[in-house]
Structure 1
Amino acid sequence: MSESGVYLLRHGQTEWSESGKHTGRTDVPLTDAGEARARRAGALLSSLRGSGPALVLSSPRIRATRTAELAGLAVDETTEDLAEWDYGDYEGLTTPEIRQTVPGWTVWTHPCPNGETAAHVDLRARTMVGRARAALADGDVILVGHGHFSRVLVATWIGQSARFGVHFGLAAGGLTLLGEERGTAQIQRLNLPAD
């Protein structure tokens, strides 16, 4: 059965995503396992959808554009609005490493020095959700991006703030479907594995 809506595809595994390093601006390639998962995500996406999408947008990071390519998607546009959270000084560090100097730190509750605030990420997510909603009149929308930012997109879709994204888990190469039920925003499928 085909479902229409906004599909979020998180990029496939990278060495940094596997090790828990915060990867915002750094262009890290997919691992072999990440490439395989991106291909499987494409097959899953095809099985869930009917006709061609109205719009495919991707983060400009190579891990996202390569995922889109391997998933068989023709990207209409790359945009920094889909880029991962900018972790600033915490780029390349794991949460345990950050907590050595900032106990209890999470991206959801604490600042990222020289990076983005939750308010800035929230604004980018609202821009993307608005754009996706506008394009839905012409068919499915596929957004290829990153873990933290995609979690913010899910929260924004259902009317919550960026910080609410902590409540959703998205695996590398996972798919999420956002839609509506009688005019109410809904998470129709969350974190479908590409295995």
Structure 2
Amino acid sequence: MELLIVRHGQSEADLLGVHEGRADFPLTKLGEQQARKMAAYVSEHLPPDIILASPLLRARSTAEMLQELMGCDLFLENDLMEFNNGVLAGLSREEASMKYPLPPKGRPIHIAIEQGESELDLRFRAEKIFHKIILDYQSYNRVAIVSHGGLISQFIKAFLKQPNSSEYVFATGDTGIHLLEIKENARIIRFLNKLEHL
């Protein structure tokens, strides 16, 4: 089973300099172009059998462009949404730092942001959706997953069986592609954050 993981294209929040998270911004024109290039590349070189996506607009729109070329089923999975940043969603970074300053040593991993989730909650959610996918969709050879940078990083940690306190971060550019493979006795990283389609 292969897991083809894709981040959404550029969103309007990227240009506005705000905390995005659960704020539901659409793709920019550039983001739409990135998504179309990704879809063309994936459909030619790594066609999926099924697509799973976050329901947030920027990810769903990216997934729909891939589905248009592939014609396969697309299902929305709430657990593929980005980190629930609660009260920070949509706020400028300046306003957020004044209204909701971080504690001097940062927010502990188990403490949730107001009206949101903790880093530990995000990791457990990534573990949950990872295990759901490899169980519920194991009959498919290649599953495409369209999600967000923070969730994708935690998803890769789940794939690698890293501890909850792991400090490693797996960065993903706009429409960056990762390919992971699960065999009976091995978990294989084929590549991470491929951007050659752009």
Query: What is the TM-score when the length of structure 2 is the normalising length?
Result: 0.81
Q: CA RMSD in A?
A: 2.7
% same residue: 27
Matched residue SS, 2:128: helix
> Displacement, 1:94?
5.7
* Unpaired runs of at least 5, structure 1: none
> What's the counterpart of residue 158 of structure 1?
160
- What's the CA shift string for 1:105-145, capped at 9, x where partnerless? 47979742221112221222112111222223321111111
> What's the counterpart of residue 139 of structure 1?
141
- What's the CA shift string for 1:17-52, capped at 9, x where partnerless? 3455322222111000000000111122123325x4
> What's the counterpart of residue 57 of structure 1?
52
* Unpaired runs of at least 5, structure 2: none
> What's the counterpart of residue 63 of structure 2?
68
- Name the CA shift for 1:97/1:47 in 2 (closer, same or farther; >3 Å): farther
2: CA distance, partners of 1:69 / 1:93: 28
Residue 110 of structure 2 contacts residue 118 of structure 2 at CA under 8 Å; is this kept in 1?
no
2: CA distance, partners of 1:87 / 1:155: 20
Runs of at least 4 residues of structure 1 off by over 3 A?
A: 72-75, 93-100, 103-111, 161-166
- What's the CA shift string for 1:70-95, capped at 9, x where partnerless? 22354431121111110012212466
> Displacement, 1:167?
1.9
Q: 2:28 aligns with which of 31, 40, 46?
A: 31
> Displacement, 1:98?
4.7
> What's the counterpart of residue 5 of structure 2?
8
Count of matched residue pairs: 190
Matched residue SS, 2:146: strand
Moved more, 164-173 or 124-133: 164-173
2:189 counterpart letter in structure 1: I
Residue 110 of structure 2 contacts residue 120 of structure 2 at CA under 8 Å; is this kept in 1?
no
Residue 154 of structure 1 contacts residue 165 of structure 1 at CA under 8 Å; is this kept in 2?
no
1:87 paired with 2:89, answer: no
Moved more, 164-173 or 146-155: 164-173
- Name the CA shift for 1:34/1:75 in 2 (closer, same or farther; >3 Å): farther
> Between Structure 1 and Structure 2, whose CA radius of gyration is higher?
2
Matched residue SS, 1:156: helix
> What's the counterpart of residue 184 of structure 1?
186
Matched residue SS, 1:7: strand
Moved more, 64-73 or 159-168: 159-168
Query: What is the TM-score when the length of structure 1 is the normalising length?
Result: 0.83
1:167 counterpart letter in structure 2: V
Q: 1:47 aligns with which of 44, 51, 66?
A: 44
